[in-house]
Amino acid sequence: MQNTDRLTLVASFSARLTYSARRFVWVKHLLVAVLYFGYTSAVKIAKRAIVFAVVMGATVPAQPPFRVGGLALDAPPKLSGDCGKSTRVHYSGRINATGPGDVTYEWIRSDNAKAPAKTLHFSHSGPLPITYDWSVKGSATGWVAFRVLSPNPIQSNKVPFRINCRY
């Protein structure tokens, strides 16, 4: 193959790469080049095409920044245990992230007790479950919520509980 033919192919491949980068169809064009020219030549052509596309201003859409897209705290909480000794108030919820990354969050209680911040690791987008237990002795009322500290601050709804012990 002559250099002019290769330059024409590089320009054609670059145009396809530029046009179809958003649709990720360029992989198909690379496979066709591998089948037609062989692996080594196709890789050289692809490298030249990518450089050509970058020089000509082609852009591939950037990934959206990692963030928490939503959260939920289930209501009502589950109560278990002996009211005279200790009642466990069990909360469950979900944090939904837009992709892989770490989310730092903390639980908030109506009695202002501090719990250490926790980190949740997302390997992909979607929801991950979270839980919290509050041990209460005797009759009590209160609420629990959680607050995402990073990557973007957001707070859940407050979910109340009420324990009435009858002795």
Domain that holds residue 75: 68-163
For the stretch 54-75, pLDDT in tens is 666 655 566 779 999 999 999 9
For residues 140 and 97, membership in a common domain is answered with yes
Which of 9-13, 28-32, 78-82 is predicted most confidently? Answer: 78-82
Beta-carbon-side half-sphere exposure of residue 132 (alpha carbons within 13 Å) = 25
For residues 96 and 15, membership in a common domain is answered with no
Residue 27, in any domain of the structure: yes
In the chain, the percentage of residues whose pLDDT exceeds 90 is 54
Cβ contact 163:83 at 8 Å? yes
Domain count, the chain: 2
- Over residues 3-19, the mean pLDDT reads 48
Domain CATH for 139: 2.60.40.10
For residues 47 and 129, membership in a common domain is answered with no
Residue 101, in any domain of the structure: yes
C-alpha–C-alpha distance, residues 134 and 140, integer Å: 11
pLDDT at 10 over 50: no
For residues 79 and 39, membership in a common domain is answered with no
